[in-house]
Amino acid sequence: MTQRGTVWPENTSRPRKQGRLGRRGAFWASASVLALVLWSSGAPSVLYPIYAEQWDLTPLIITTVFATYQLALIVVLPLFGNLSDQLGRRRVMIVGVALIAASAILFAVAPNVAFLFAGRVLQGAGAGLAMGAATASLIENNTASSPRFASSMATVATATGLTLALALSGVLARFVPLPLLWSYIVLLILCLASIAALMCAPDDRPIHVQRWRPQAPSVPQGIRLRFSIATLSVSLAYCVGAIFLSLGAHMITQFAHTENSAIVGILLGCSAAAIGITALFLSRVPAHTSVWIGVTLTVLSLGLMAAASAFGSISLFLGWCVIGGIAYSFAFTGGLGLINSVASERHRGATLSLLYLIAYALQAGTAIGVGALATTGSLSTAVGIAALSLAALSAAVLVLMILDVRERRSNADLSPSTSRPL
């Protein structure tokens, strides 16, 4: 299978012992894992104002709880990022989802903020194991004619999980007794269903199983520029998402002067819905084009974010939700598409894990930094500084894109098939 001349390696190292689901079923089981990872990440977002009111928590504590997820990922990914390359995608996904299920139990019974920190640690550890394995499994089990379909479905799956988590958490908290319980019960049930589906998926263990040992994150020299572009593109999407998920509910309560969790969840869900709807149309968009559009729209969304915070406008906030969601979809899908086109199957799990490691490290720094600024100063000042910082990151991605275009043109000029006769 080729994409613009790029050879996609065939999956010869992994025996396909057919399970009851088959290869197509394994693809959708992997997609459900990505949905669960984002569901677990977003499930507490609508509930943060309730936690803050009940336990008298500052914005810094709330954003630190949020960032604990990313900090756990930063620890897990360097140690276990290559685990699915050696033990198989399915087995690693099962362990990751089991940890997310355990986190749902901790959140459901949490009597104080310490349980929230512990739950986020388990969520981050589970996501660290599951995300790279699930993304690699999507690529390797893709039966569509377009190789970009896997990247698009990864974005759709994560957006679907996040949308449902935000909307359902808000509705349950508003209309059902015990508002801090039922969202996590639903998450636990979905985790058990996902584990059952994975158990029925084909066995994808490598033929030659090696003894596992931690492997230092690294990127092959020939793909480092595109890896940098892909990683910063995904990181940009994640950093904007960090502000949205950690402080978005607080912004809505200030702008709309409402504590109705259903309204908060639906407004937050608009962004995730925009991500998923946009991703449905991206399977035929080249990865480079997707990154260009994603970065450009991100800059626009950052302006809307800063304006919404400065003027306290719920209309501008909704505009940020929609434009920011579309930008996220282009940036995230384009970044994954670049990695998919250059990473070899043998090291794909480790390469994807390193991408997620860097993206989540930047996301954690963004969340904690904005929370600290909001606690010591004002929310609008914190959001404004974050917007300027992320605009600088956007500029860095654009510079790298220009360098990549020049490099590809130079390589094309030197290629025997395209060089001019002397």
pLDDT at 418: 46
Tell me if 12 is assigned to some domain: no
How does residue 419 score in pLDDT terms, banded at 50, 70 and 90? very low
Q: What is the residue range of 171's domain? A: 20-207+220-411
How does residue 213 score in pLDDT terms, banded at 50, 70 and 90? low
Assess whether pLDDT exceeds 50 at residue 5: no
33: β partners = none
Tell me if 416 is assigned to some domain: no
Tell me if 417 is assigned to some domain: no
Give the model confidence (pLDDT) of 231-250 as tens digits. 999 999 989 988 888 888 88
Q: What value does the mean pLDDT take over residues 189-207?
A: 86
What letter would DSSP give residue 7?
E
Quick check: 313 and 257 in contact, CB under 8 A? no
Tell me if 370 is assigned to some domain: yes
Phi, psi for residue 8 in degrees, rounded to 5: -95, 120
pLDDT at 19: 54
Cα gap 292→299, rounded to integer Å: 11
pLDDT at 6: 32
Tell me if 53 is assigned to some domain: yes
Give the model confidence (pLDDT) of 40-92 as tens digits. 988 888 888 889 889 998 888 998 998 898 889 888 877 887 778 778 888 99
Tell me if 155 is assigned to some domain: yes
10 Å CB burial of residue 355 (0-12, 13-18, 19+) is: buried
Tell me if 187 is assigned to some domain: yes
Tokens matching residue 16: 């396909």
Which sign, positive or negative, has the C-alpha torsion 66, 41, 71, 237? negative
Tell me if 14 is assigned to some domain: no
Cα gap 343→206, rounded to integer Å: 18
How does residue 14 score in pLDDT terms, banded at 50, 70 and 90? very low
Q: What integer best gives the mean pLDDT of the chain?
A: 83
Counting the structural domains of the chain, the total is: 1
Q: What is the CATH number of the domain that holds 278?
A: 1.20.1250.20
